[in-house]
Amino acid sequence: MKKKFSYQPQSAWKKLNAPALREKVEALTKRYIDFLSACKTERETAEYVCRRLRQAKYGEKFSGDRVLCCLRGKAVFAAQRGRAPLRDGLALIAAHVDTPRLDFKQRPLVEQTCVVQAKTHYYGGIRKYQWLARPLALHGMVVRENGEKIPVSIGERPDEPVFCIADLLPHLAQKQGNQKLNEAFEAEKLNVVLAHSPKIAKRDNRDKADEKNGDSVREHLLELLHAKYGICEEDMITAEMQAVPAGSARFVGFDKALVGGYGQDDRICVFAALEALLQAKSGRRNRAVVFWDKEEIGSEGATGAASRFFEYCVENLLPGTAPANRVSEVFLNSRALSADVQAALDPDFQDLHEKQNAARLGYGPCFSKFTGSRGKYGASEADAEYFASLRGLLNAKGIPWQSAELGKVDQGGGGTVALFLAAYGMQVIDFGPPVLSMHSPCELASCADLWFTVEAYKAFFES
């Protein structure tokens, strides 16, 4: 065969022509859709991951062959020992479990014009208008003074009510229409409607209740919350309550070739990395995954990538192994994938991308040699040696891949957890599927990219 000297990325769908393979892709996508629909918060995602790992005989003992460690219900580390000594390093895949959303304020409840709303403070990068006039579900954790935990999830099942932020009607939006986008939608107006009917007063108090109608919807809501969850207003101050888009993820398109759903950044990588860990044939190299929280707000915090959690977990793997396994050696010899999504070339905003270096839906998982912005500021760039070896690995297995930057130079940018792993001296590169409408309530990902991301992560673990 004649050797081609030029390079063109290839559509991943071309490798999925066999009907039997298409069926497998659809089956995997269905499981992914169920996962996305069930896991709307970092806690729910961590719980799902731990449940599946336990089913696969991962345990909390660090001396075991399959190790699982969850921090505060929000960050998860799992490792599978290989035949090689630990000092040879880990094959590590890191992803994040948190997603942009609307967090309730600590004192959320306000009553105005016969409705009670919850005031919110958004988490992560959102486009505020996308959260108006759409059904929202509430997910969270209320903890009583005595430590008792009350998980909350309401608005997902068809028989449950949903919640909503009202938007301005077009008839009165003339002035708003002339405002700048950033000024037209105010964070302090992202108030979620929770209730509308007043408390039914006792017969002899009815007239009095009418007089001070002000607090009665709020009182009614507090009564309902107490009846349903046994909680009072003070419990909300210490609670974590998140408003997220209600409803299931879905296939999108007549050909069902896309998945639409909330939180695919970065749960598609969490799902793919978990699948890869559970499916990969046992091998030489020690393997690990780490799923961090707080990526969307800069990776700070006890459960974020900037914390010591991952380091502690690797240290805990060392006792009982061959002598001279130093944790620094493990880090320096590790190879990591920072598994995060890349912005797909947007058909309607192609001019914001530099097309030759943009990720395309359906062209397989995408490498980003660096992230950051303004002259690669804030980037941990992968070295040519590592990038080339991964390219060789995927080519040998016939797994399609692509390479991209996030948008045109000086157009914007973003960060991932890669730099926190690079800080240990390990080789790391960003590698994940492209996503359209990133950070929106309905992100779009290609089923072909999902399939080949799992295949690529598997190949990485087996290498």
Write the Ramachandran bin of 189: left for phi over 0, alpha for psi from -120 to 50, otherwise beta: alpha
Q: Minimal distance in Å, beta carbon 275 to Mn ion? A: 18
How far apart (Å, rounded) are the C-alpha atoms in residues 234 and 226? Answer: 11
How far apart (Å, rounded) are the C-alpha atoms in residues 307 and 423? Answer: 12
Q: Minimal distance in Å, beta carbon 265 to Mn ion? A: 4
- The smaller minimum CB distance to Mn ion, of residues 77 and 291, is found at 291
Q: Minimal distance in Å, beta carbon 343 to Mn ion? A: 10
Binding segment (CB under 5 A) for Mn ion, from list 237-245, 340-348, 386-394, 395-403: 340-348
Binding segment (CB under 5 A) for Mn ion, from list 31-39, 188-196, 266-274, 330-338: 266-274
Q: Minimal distance in Å, beta carbon 95 to Mn ion? A: 8
Q: How far is CA 253 from CA 93, 95, 250, 447, in A?
A: 31, 28, 10, 11
How far apart (Å, rounded) are the C-alpha atoms in residues 446 and 100? Answer: 21
- The smaller minimum CB distance to Mn ion, of residues 235 and 295, is found at 295
Token pair for 114: 């016969």
Angle of helix 384-397 versus helix 447-462 axis, rounded to 10: 110
How far apart (Å, rounded) are the C-alpha atoms in residues 270 and 73? Answer: 15
Q: Minimal distance in Å, beta carbon 379 to Mn ion? A: 15
Q: Minimal distance in Å, beta carbon 295 to Mn ion? A: 6
How far apart (Å, rounded) are the C-alpha atoms in residues 454 and 277? Answer: 9
How many of the other CB atoms lie within 10 Å of CB of 71? 18
Interaction pattern, residues 290-329, with Mn ion; x per rule: CB under 5 A:
----------------------------------------
Binding segment (CB under 5 A) for Mn ion, from list 53-61, 135-143, 261-269, 344-352: 261-269
How far apart (Å, rounded) are the C-alpha atoms in residues 454 and 463? Answer: 14
How far apart (Å, rounded) are the C-alpha atoms in residues 461 and 285? Answer: 8
Token pair for 159: 């028989």
266 near Mn ion, judged by CB under 5 A: yes
How far apart (Å, rounded) are the C-alpha atoms in residues 302 and 319? Answer: 24
- The smaller minimum CB distance to Mn ion, of residues 80 and 299, is found at 299
How far apart (Å, rounded) are the C-alpha atoms in residues 68 and 145? Answer: 29
**90-96/286-292 β-pairing:** parallel
- The smaller minimum CB distance to Mn ion, of residues 118 and 445, is found at 445
Torsions phi, psi for 252 (to 5 deg): -125, 135
Residue ranges in 163-222 that form contacts with Mn ion under rule CB under 5 A: none
Binding segment (CB under 5 A) for Mn ion, from list 78-86, 209-217, 286-294, 337-345: 337-345
- CB-based burial label for 15 (10 Å; 0-12, 13-18, 19+): middle
**115-123/101-112 β-pairing:** antiparallel
- The smaller minimum CB distance to Mn ion, of residues 99 and 191, is found at 99
Binding segment (CB under 5 A) for Mn ion, from list 7-15, 216-224, 252-260, 332-340: 332-340
- The smaller minimum CB distance to Mn ion, of residues 89 and 304, is found at 304
**DSSP line for 146-166:** TS-EEEEEES-STTS--BB--
- The smaller minimum CB distance to Mn ion, of residues 394 and 417, is found at 417
- The smaller minimum CB distance to Mn ion, of residues 235 and 265, is found at 265
Q: Minimal distance in Å, beta carbon 52 to Mn ion? A: 21
42 near Mn ion, judged by CB under 5 A: no
265 near Mn ion, judged by CB under 5 A: yes
* Locus of tokens 């967090």: 103
Q: Minimal distance in Å, beta carbon 376 to Mn ion? A: 18
- Residues in the interface with Mn ion (CB under 5 A) total 3
Q: Minimal distance in Å, beta carbon 45 to Mn ion? A: 13
Task: Enumerate the H helices of 14-144 as residue ranges.
Answer: 19-38, 42-55
- The smaller minimum CB distance to Mn ion, of residues 286 and 371, is found at 371
In sequence order, the β-bridge partners of residue 429 are 337
Torsions phi, psi for 238 (to 5 deg): -95, 0
- The smaller minimum CB distance to Mn ion, of residues 97 and 241, is found at 97
Answer whether the bond into residue 266 is a cis peptide, omega within 30°.
yes
Binding segment (CB under 5 A) for Mn ion, from list 184-192, 230-238, 260-268, 450-458: 260-268
- The smaller minimum CB distance to Mn ion, of residues 266 and 455, is found at 266
Tell me which residue has its CB nearest to Mn ion. Answer: 266
Interaction pattern, residues 214-253, with Mn ion; x per rule: CB under 5 A:
----------------------------------------
**Exactly one of 47, 111, 340, 405 binds Mn ion (CB under 5 A); which one?**
340
> Site residues (CB under 5 A) for Mn ion?
265-266, 340
